[in-house]
Amino acid sequence: MRRAKDIVNTPPEKQFTMRIFTSTLLCPAILQLCASAMALDGPKPDEVAWLKEHAISLKTVEAGHGFDDLQALKQLIGEARVVALGECTHGTREVFQMKHRLVEFLAAEMGFTVFSIEANMPESCAVSDYAVRGQGDPRRLLDGMYFWTWNTQEVLDMIEWMRAFNAAGRGRIAFTGFDMQTPDVAMGIVTEFLKRADPAYAGQAEQSYALAGHRTDAEPAAPYCTLVGTFPLDNCLGKQIRFTGQIKTEGVTRPQAGLWWRVDGPDGVLAFDNMHDRAPTGTTDWKLFTITLDVPRDAVNINFGLLDTGDGVVWFDDLAVEIDGRRLALVGQFDLDFEQFQSAAPLGFSLNSNQYLVGPDVSVFKSGRQSLRVEHRAKAPSPRSPQPRPADISAACKAVLEHMDASKTQYAALTSQRDADWAIQNARVVAQCEQMKANEISRDESMARNVQWILEHEPQGARIVLWAHNGHVHNRPGAMGSWLRRTYGKDYVVLGFACGEGRYTAIGNDGLGIYPLQPPPADSVDAFFRAAQIPIGVLDLRTASKDDASSAWLTQARPFRMIGALATDFQFGACNVQECYDALIYIDQTTPTRSLRN
């Protein structure tokens, strides 16, 4: 398993996927991809009738078909300055098309002038050279945003619409971005500006930024191997879990390999242990390792398994789980001794691996006939000079920002206020990136602050529409949306997305591919919409009440589809949609996005 501060040296085009992988295992408040064991009822006739009465049917997801069916959204959105559009997967064509149609509606009918997407800030803002002024190649500019998720025909179609809208004089819509995961372009903007406006300091800034560049160039792509299982909540709540396993190692110079266990609550991680401070190293014989955690009564999900992010060879055998000292018989649920393991993944687990060979070993085992063997395939890294600590890099980049911020009046006089503000904001993007890597400030907080900066540098009263994942735009603590709600209050309106069946684009073990959506569980939010037979619709969640038996289901934590950039079998997590979103858009039939990288 990779922590966020470890996944910093992956090539830019892969960083997004790696960080989504991290949040899958460590940060369910951002992105919950794990199944939730919940004993809730499915749709009742009165609940389905209420949904049919209150949902607004939409005729199409495609832009260019008029706005008659969208007029009700004017009352839902009101005078809000910030409207956020989520997505239930990063690879669903109809969701992307619907978001394009909503951007068209918001720009043409409600006066929104700024669009901003979950992608690197300076690279995304460059797309406005084409959207607003017609300069550059939109395909090249889109590819320059790094992420395969946005490099699709659907997003390109929206950019081409923006260009036509701006060129026709019907209004103005700018293309921007609010993310900050890759600092390279921002660094270049800062250093070039300083050479003109502050040449005496430019060399110092380049030295500070070289710390991050040196680390990035020196590190190999981060290897990882995880075995992930979802443990049943039955009889676990309020009790103590003890997870044990035998581990043997050979030639391990870079730990970590071990057991891991995580307990999730409604708002985030309640308990977590991945043996990061006691992982075995070197060549060792079989040894029993133990994780002991308490499971709070408000837990909604448990995940557990094995991990290896080091080198050498590691064997695992004889896993066991105890609850309050009583060993559980999990035969038929999990292959904990790996005796049935032949290929793919052991029973009850999913396997995610990069740079590792994983399989059964019939020659080395603690007991039985075989064990699980994990071997790092890449060569051990060659010795190199000590690398700067993330905290030191963060401090150096913050010092550049502080120097420039203190000099902004001087910079504006030498260049222009606009150029000075933009250069300082890019210095802030660099600092934010390094603060995230050092675990000092979360990505979601920085993204929210960047949205605020964009809006503050637009004409007074400007309105902005955001494009991001459901897990970023919602209102629960820790998400970008919670920061925006705190800043803008009712002027922030968020529309989540849900879907029924189909396929989606994602990264799997064999790279970018097409994967099936699992049928919604009977008690899920998505299943209620399916029962109402709504092909495409929008529901104002604020009309539901916990005191109304026919709509109270929307005020409860229920399974809700939430998939990021990685293909997964754990497609539903617990979510109280009314607490998270102001409205929900449902699309029953879906297909994968159409990549431009084919």
pTM: 0.71
* Closest among 368, 355, 231, 199 to 303, alpha carbons compared: 231
Instruction: For residue 179, count CB atoms less than 10 angstroms from its CB and return exposed for 0-12, middle for 13-18, buried for 19 or more.
Output: buried
pLDDT in tens, 291-345: 999 999 888 888 899 988 888 999 999 999 999 989 988 877 889 999 888 766 7
Rounded Cα gap, residues 132 and 176, in angstroms: 11
**β 350-354/224-230 pair status:** antiparallel
pLDDT in tens, 116-172: 999 999 999 999 999 999 999 999 999 988 889 999 999 999 999 999 999 998 889
Nearest-10 Cα torsion for 121, 127, 132, 134 = 160
- Residue 563 token pair: 């998939």
Read off the amino acid at residue 318.
D
Whole-number pLDDT of residue 19 = 42
Rounded Cα gap, residues 589 and 74, in angstroms: 26
- CATH code 2.60.120 region(s) in the chain: 224-376
Average pLDDT along the chain: 87
- Residue 459 token pair: 């004409």
Rounded Cα gap, residues 311 and 357, in angstroms: 11
Which CATH class for the 224-376 domain? mainly beta
Rounded Cα gap, residues 432 and 307, in angstroms: 29
Does pLDDT of 392 surpass 80?
yes
pLDDT in tens, 13-38: 334 344 433 333 333 333 333 333 34
- The two most distant CA atoms of the chain are separated, in Å, by 77
Does pLDDT of 267 surpass 70?
no
Coil, helix or strand at residue 56? strand
Start-to-end C-alpha separation, the chain: 30
Does pLDDT of 426 surpass 50?
yes
Pick the CATH number of 31-178+463-590 from 3.40.1660.10, 3.40.50.300, 3.30.1370.60, 3.40.50.12160: 3.40.1660.10
Which residues are bridge partners to 85 per DSSP?
467, 495
Rounded Cα gap, residues 444 and 455, in angstroms: 17
* Closest among 471, 475, 525 to 498, alpha carbons compared: 525
Whole-number pLDDT of residue 30 = 36
Whole-number pLDDT of residue 1 = 28
Alpha-carbon distance values, 209 to 238, 405, 425 (Å):
48, 17, 15
- CATH code 3.40.1660.10 region(s) in the chain: 31-178+463-590
pLDDT in tens, 50-100: 999 999 999 999 999 999 999 999 999 999 999 999 999 999 999 999 999
Q: What proportion of the chain, given as a percentage, has pLDDT over 90? A: 67
- Residue 393 token pair: 């890099």
pLDDT in tens, 476-530: 888 999 999 999 999 999 999 999 999 999 988 778 899 999 999 999 999 999 9
Alpha-carbon distance values, 225 to 256, 314, 340, 351, 511 (Å):
10, 11, 20, 7, 15
Order the strands of the 268-273 sheet from edge to edge: 268-273, 257-265, 301-308, 224-230, 350-354
- Asked if 82 contacts 488 with a C-beta cutoff of 8 angstroms, the reply is yes
